[in-house]
Amino acid sequence: MHVGLTAPFFVGIFVHIKYKSPAILDILKADVVLGIMHIYTCTRRRLPEKLYGILGCIGPVISFVYALVVFFQLKGMPADTRFLVHNAFTWFKVGDLNVTMGFLADPLSSLMLLFVTFIGSLIHIYSVGYMAGDENFGKFFSYMNLFLGSMVILVLGSGPVVMFIGWEGVGLCSYLLISYYSKDTNNVLAGNKAFIVNRIGDLGFVLGMAFLFWAIGSGGFGYLALRENAHLLTPAIGLTVCLLLFIGACGKSAQIPLYVWLPDAMAGPTPVSALIHAATMVTAGVYMVARFSFIYAHVPLAGEIVAWTGILTALLAAIQARDKEVVSLLIEAGCDVNAQTDERQTALMQAARRGHLEIVRILLEAGGFNYDAQSQDLYRA
């Protein structure tokens, strides 16, 4: 639970820059408190769920408030200088590669930050009631907070390497949360699938970063420096970098051919599915492509490949969903083809009132009748 306020720590950096307030220190103190609570829970009696729920939700809500401050701060700045940069320290330096642990807020990242923290806050608040009574209530919220915190690092990273830290963080948390009910083997296998498939995409991301550094990284490996030097990329290298980065995006955003992990992601608790689809994993790939848009703009072919991949993925999903449409309608109607006769009759009337003719046909066939929807003829099988 010591990771409980990871997200507001990084968002609070920009508030500290603007107002010189002790916001970061306050949040670090809260992190220490949560860490002590977690140790106490492991060695002594369980703490109340309400306490974990409140502390688990404070982080995302504070993050959203800070994100609003950053957004309006950027809005009040001139358009050509509308960005904030904070370089915390030099992480490592090898030859021409100088990687700074830095954070960048600009119109793109601030908008994404608002989206991620707002949706994440709502999901955390919903989780308090949904997970009530769970034996690992505190652990669940620590995973969820780390998930959101990793996404904030991904969004605010000032360069590809810092983004990759958050990128791997959300991948790890997706495994932890999809396989949260680890006593069920199927859930563990679903978590493994998500983790392994995303490693394939991550390999593309790493190779893309390597090619990008080799081509134009000597002038700086932050987004601002890369944007200034993007025109130096040759068409062949530019296309290679774009496609390799897009492989990483396909893994996170579940695009063809790396989409196979997403259906199994439903194995985790419902709030996990909501967070994966709405605010973290799936949106991470989209954000990454948008973040590198200054490179994709120089390679129109890469943009076309991205567009066609999205179109084909949507088409494939629609085709697969069509086979399951009747099942979902049966669930909506609250019926079971193997139910007793009186239950089938009730479901039959509900389906007929709603105009679900396919459900009517299935229920009648289950009762020994055939129904022709086109001629509306009813006859015994």
Query: Which ranges in the chain belong to alpha helices (H)?
Result: 6-19, 23-43, 49-75, 107-130, 137-156, 160-178, 185-216, 223-229, 235-253, 270-278, 281-291, 293-296, 300-333, 341-354, 357-366
Per-residue DSSP letter, 242: H
Contacts of 292 (CB under 8 A, 6+ apart): 242, 245
Please count the structural domains in the chain. Answer: 1
> What are the backbone dihedrals phi and psi of residue 121, each rounded to the nearest 5 degrees, phi first?
-65, -45
What pLDDT is stored for residue 368 in this prediction? 45
Residue 338 lies in a domain: yes
What pLDDT is stored for residue 246 in this prediction? 92
Which helix H or strand E contains 380, and what residues bound it? strand 377-380
Calpha distance 66→148 (Å, rounded): 14
Residue 97 lies in a domain: no
Q: Which residue bears the tokens 């790396």?
A: 258
What does each C-alpha distance from 37 to 3, 5, 132, 297 come to in angstroms?
11, 13, 19, 49
Residue 371 lies in a domain: yes
What pLDDT is stored for residue 359 in this prediction? 54
Residue 341 lies in a domain: yes
What pLDDT is stored for residue 239 in this prediction? 92
What pLDDT is stored for residue 378 in this prediction? 39
List, for residues 3-32, the tens digit of each pLDDT value. 444 444 444 444 444 443 333 333 344 444
Whether cis (ω within 30° of 0) applies to the bond prior to 107 is: no
Q: Which DSSP string corresponds to 248-294?
A: HHHHHHT-TTS-TTTGGGGGS-HHHHHHHHHTSHHHHHHHHHHHTHH
List, for residues 203-262, the tens digit of each pLDDT value. 999 999 999 888 887 777 888 888 888 888 888 999 999 999 999 999 888 888 888 888
Residue 306 lies in a domain: no
> What are the backbone dihedrals phi and psi of residue 250, each rounded to the nearest 5 degrees, phi first?
-60, -40
Residue 367 lies in a domain: yes
What pLDDT is stored for residue 358 in this prediction? 54
Residue 364 lies in a domain: yes
Q: What is the pTM of this model?
A: 0.76
What pLDDT is stored for residue 27 in this prediction? 38
Range of the domain at 368: 334-380
In this structure, which amino acid lies at residue 299? Answer: V
- Report, as ranges of residue numbers, the positions in the chain whose pLDDT lies below 50: 1-32, 326-327, 329-341, 344, 368-381
